[in-house]
């Protein structure tokens, strides 16, 4: 059975990420009445108190709304990593290079970045890290993405001692406050993409970092072995599950059974996370289709077969429904001058 965590259940230690948001808000003259509105949280939680993800999300929403400043999400991101989560945070700091850092981050995502789950892929000289919503927070999603991307960029810059040439794509239109992205993330920004991702030339992955010590890294990783695993959020667990089973056309009934609940309960839970099964499945299939287009250079026929569609025409129609575009222009964009991945790859060869 798959381990997962609903948004309403306490899981995040109050002294970790929630405390940072609270402290940031207070240091910028927000009152507790504003910060804690509708969270049901006490102003001074007990040292071992747990906060539910939805309470933490509400706290972030209050902070963002209270400060009403375009840089809040970015400043919160600067504070987020490595965090103070004992062995997991220590392993991040001791990572000898970017690859080890990203692997550690993905392994302990439920502790280090509980709200967004990072997924790390690499192929053909490209390293890709994209962020999946863990608890279904559509209204906060843009701010969460800004926050998490800033956290990772800032951590890499600190540990690596230099700015990595990240490129960014965002599943949203161009914002008014693009200057914040330019300064806190970098100038290579692309809006209106299908996923929230950061890419970098894979050559950076194994370049040793200035302070790296083989032994310290090994010891730090050993220390994480004793750490109890924390279950990922429902939508993150579902994304992983769907990605694994995407070829077999997963159904709600089958998935609910694998998640250990009845279909009705599962439906209700998804609704509470502001989503539904078909939406999540379509998102995974979009990402898989894009990946096949880009990496395998697959045509519609092959992608349709892979995703279990009757024929290419059916797939084409569905793809249009998911993304608003037919596969043709998207593939052309990926291949052509606009191609985000292709351009990066071209730069590697140069």
Partner 1 sequence: MSVVARHIVLLAGLLASFTLLFIVAGTPIPVAEWDWIDVASEGGTALLGAIWCLIVLSSRPDGRVTRLLAGGLACIMLGSWADCMDEFIDVEKAALWDNALEMLVPLGMVILTAGMVYWRHEQANLSDHMRKRERLFRSHRPFDRITQLADAAYLREQLRLESRNDGPCALVLFDIDDFHRINREHGQGEGDRALQAVAHMLLLNLRNDDLLCRYAGDRFAVLMPGLNQYEGEDAARHLCRMVGAMRHHAGSRRVTITLRHGCADAHGAPDALLAALCRQMDAV
**CB nearer partner 1, residue 137 or residue 155:** 155
Instruction: Output the smallest distance, CB 50 to partner 1, in A.
Output: 26
Check residue 350 for interaction with partner 1 (CB under 8 A).
Answer: no
Among 49, 87, 123, 188, binds partner 1 (CB under 8 A): 188
**CB nearer partner 1, residue 24 or residue 56:** 24
Cα dist from 102 to 108, 165, 180, 207, whole Å: 10, 16, 24, 13
Instruction: Output the smallest distance, CB 183 to partner 1, in A.
Output: 4
Instruction: Output the smallest distance, CB 164 to partner 1, in A.
Output: 11
Contact 137, 115 (CB under 8 A): yes
Cα dist from 89 to 83, 136, 158, 275, 300, whole Å: 6, 25, 14, 31, 43
Among 78, 122, 171, 318, binds partner 1 (CB under 8 A): 78
Check residue 182 for interaction with partner 1 (CB under 8 A).
Answer: yes
Q: Measured between alpha carbons, how far is 116 from 110 in angstroms, rounded to an integer?
A: 8
Interface pattern 12-31 for partner 1 (x via CB under 8 A)? ------------x--xx---
Among 19, 79, 292, 295, binds partner 1 (CB under 8 A): 79
Buried b (16+ CB within 10 A) or exposed e, 263-281: beebeebbeebebebeebb
Check residue 347 for interaction with partner 1 (CB under 8 A).
Answer: no
Instruction: Output the smallest distance, CB 29 to partner 1, in A.
Output: 9
Check residue 179 for interaction with partner 1 (CB under 8 A).
Answer: yes
**CB nearer partner 1, residue 71 or residue 282:** 71
Contact 50, 157 (CB under 8 A): no
Secondary structure (3-state) at 136:
coil
Instruction: Output the smallest distance, CB 155 to partner 1, in A.
Output: 10
Interacting span for partner 1 (CB under 8 A) from 6-14, 39-47, 74-82, 83-91: 74-82
Q: What is the DSSP string of 162-215?
A: S----EEEESSPPPTTHHHHHHHT-S-EEES-SS-EEEEEGGGTTSPPTT--HH
Instruction: Output the smallest distance, CB 189 to partner 1, in A.
Output: 8
Check residue 177 for interaction with partner 1 (CB under 8 A).
Answer: yes
**CB nearer partner 1, residue 32 or residue 188:** 188
Check residue 180 for interaction with partner 1 (CB under 8 A).
Answer: yes
Among 10, 186, 279, 339, binds partner 1 (CB under 8 A): 186
Angle at 52 between CA 51 and CA 55, to 5 degrees: 90
Q: Measured between alpha carbons, how far is 99 from 120 in angstroms, rounded to an integer?
A: 9
Q: Measured between alpha carbons, how far is 22 from 32 in angstroms, rounded to an integer?
A: 8
Kindly determine how many residues on this chain lie close enough to bind partner 1 according to the rule CB under 8 A. Answer: 26
Check residue 69 for interaction with partner 1 (CB under 8 A).
Answer: yes
**CB nearer partner 1, residue 183 or residue 313:** 183
Where in 148-167 is the site for partner 1 (CB under 8 A)?
154, 157-158, 163, 165
Check residue 74 for interaction with partner 1 (CB under 8 A).
Answer: yes
* Strand extents, DSSP E, the chain: 12-13, 50-51, 116-123, 126-133, 167-170, 189-191, 197-201
Q: What letter would DSSP give residue 247?
A: G
Catalog residues that contact partner 1 under the rule CB under 8 A. 24, 27-28, 69-71, 74-75, 78-79, 154, 157-158, 163, 165, 176-180, 182-184, 186-188
């Amino acid at each position: 059975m798959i381990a997962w965590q609903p948004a309403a259940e306490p899981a995040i230690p109050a002294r970790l990420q929630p405390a940072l948001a609270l402290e940031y808000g207070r240091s910028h003259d927000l009152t507790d009445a504003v910060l804690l509105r509708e969270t049901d949280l006490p102003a001074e939680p007990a040292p071992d108190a747990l906060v539910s993800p939805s309470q933490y999300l509400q706290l972030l929403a209050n902070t963002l709304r209270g400060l009403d400043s375009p840089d809040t999400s970015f400043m919160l991101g600067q504070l987020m990593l490595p965090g103070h989560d004992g062995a997991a945070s220590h392993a991040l700091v001791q990572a000898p290079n970017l690859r080890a850092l990203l692997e550690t981050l993905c392994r302990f995502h439920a502790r280090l970045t509980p709200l967004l789950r990072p997924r790390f892929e690499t192929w053909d000289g490209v390293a890709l890290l994209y962020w999946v919503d863990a608890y279904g927070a559509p209204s906060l999603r843009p701010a969460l993405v800004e926050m998490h991307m800033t956290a990772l960029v800032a951590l890499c810059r600190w540990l690596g001692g230099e700015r990595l040439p990240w490129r960014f794509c965002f599943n949203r239109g161009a914002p008014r406050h693009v200057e914040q992205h330019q300064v806190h993330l970098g100038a290579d920004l692309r809006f209106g993409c299908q996923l929230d991702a950061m890419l970098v030339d894979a050559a950076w992955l194994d370049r040793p970092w200035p302070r790296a010590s083989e032994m310290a890294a090994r010891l730090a990783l050993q220390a994480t072995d004793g750490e109890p695993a924390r279950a990922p959020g429902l939508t993150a667990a579902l994304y992983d599950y769907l990605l694994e089973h995407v070829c077999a056309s997963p159904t709600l009934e089958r998935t609910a059974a694998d998640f250990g609940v009845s279909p009705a309960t599962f439906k209700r839970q998804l609704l509470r996370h502001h989503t539904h099964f078909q939406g999540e499945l379509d998102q995974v299939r979009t990402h898989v289709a894009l990946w096949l287009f880009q990496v395998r250079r697959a045509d519609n026929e092959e992608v349709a077969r892979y995703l279990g569609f009757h024929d290419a025409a059916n797939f084409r129609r569905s793809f249009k429904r998911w993304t608003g575009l037919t596969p043709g222009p998207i593939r052309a964009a990926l291949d052509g001058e606009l191609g985000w991945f292709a351009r990066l790859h071209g730069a590697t060869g140069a």
